[in-house]
């Protein structure tokens, strides 16, 4: 039986500013680094068969801190990236709402298949996340696996593991650096 410990990256400056990060490679801020150290302490009594992380530095940095405390390596996998937000990346949420009112409204009605210009849909994110976790579970069929990723990407996994419709993914975005355990399979 495989259990995933899902962790959203630590805090970044863009989190504080209310900017869409998407696949922009934004580093952790000082609070995010402190969250990573605290997370490593929280997880010190758990044994992980493997540690996987998105290749984006805000996730990779927290995974490396936890992995060092666990005396393990981090397996980098780009499938664990956040949703690609296209033209919305780096933009403030209020600016996006003002510049794309129709698209913003469509997303509220159909969050699974509406995409930011040049971006990715939640369904596409879910498909790559599920494929990655299925593979990790096949490689490590028993025990705990740590997965460090991003808010909306992890929300798709949380929805599936909780038998919640993926349309509710925006409601399931985890807090920064807070472990969430799910059974997979």
CATH topology of domain 2-184: Rossmann fold (3.40.50)
CA distances (Å), 6 to each of 45, 56, 72, 99, 100, in order?
16, 16, 17, 33, 32
Q: Catalytic pick from 17, 30, 82, 140?
A: 82
How far apart CA 7 and CA 177 sit, in angstroms, is 6
How far apart CA 106 and CA 94 sit, in angstroms, is 16
Whether 167 is catalytic is: no
Euclidean distance between the first and final Cα of the chain, in Å?
A: 8
- pLDDT for 185: 76
How far apart CA 150 and CA 41 sit, in angstroms, is 21
Domain boundaries, the chain: 2-184
How far apart CA 177 and CA 59 sit, in angstroms, is 9
For 65-110, how does the pLDDT look when each residue is reduced to its tens digit (9 = 90+)?
999 999 999 999 999 999 999 999 999 999 999 999 999 999 999 9
Q: Catalytic pick from 9, 64, 89, 120?
A: 9
- pLDDT for 95: 96
For 119-171, how does the pLDDT look when each residue is reduced to its tens digit (9 = 90+)?
999 999 999 999 999 999 999 999 999 999 999 999 999 999 999 999 999 99
pLDDT band at 1 (very low <50, low <70, confident <90, very high): confident
- pLDDT for 73: 98
Whether 82 is catalytic is: yes
For 14-70, how does the pLDDT look when each residue is reduced to its tens digit (9 = 90+)?
999 999 999 999 999 999 999 999 999 999 999 999 999 999 999 999 999 999 999
pTM for the model: 0.96
- pLDDT for 125: 98
Q: Which two tokens stand for residue 63?
A: 């995974």
* Sign of the alpha-carbon dihedral angle for 54, 132, 82, 172: negative
């Amino acid at each position: 039986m495989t259990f995933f410990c899902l962790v959203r990256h630590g805090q970044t400056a863009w989190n504080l500013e209310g900017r869409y990060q998407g696949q922009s490679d934004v580093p952790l801020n000082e609070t995010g680094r402190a969250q990573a150290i605290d997370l490593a302490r929280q997880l010190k009594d758990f044994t992980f068969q493997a540690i996987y992380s998105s290749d984006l530095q805000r996730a990779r940095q927290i995974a490396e801190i936890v992995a060092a405390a666990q005396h393990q390596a981090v397996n980098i996998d780009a499938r664990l990236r956040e949703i690609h937000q296209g033209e919305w990346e780096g933009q403030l949420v209020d600016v996006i709402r003002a510049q794309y009112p129709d698209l913003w409204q469509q997303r509220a009605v159909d969050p699974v298949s509406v995409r930011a210009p040049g971006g990715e849909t939640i369904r596409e994110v879910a498909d790559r996340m599920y494929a990655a976790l299925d593979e990790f579970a096949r490689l490590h069929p028993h025990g705990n696996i740590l997965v460090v990723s991003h808010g909306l990407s992890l929300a798709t996994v949380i929805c599936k593991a909780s038998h919640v419709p993926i349309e509710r993914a925006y409601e399931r975005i985890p807090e920064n650096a807070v472990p969430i355990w799910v059974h997979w399979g």
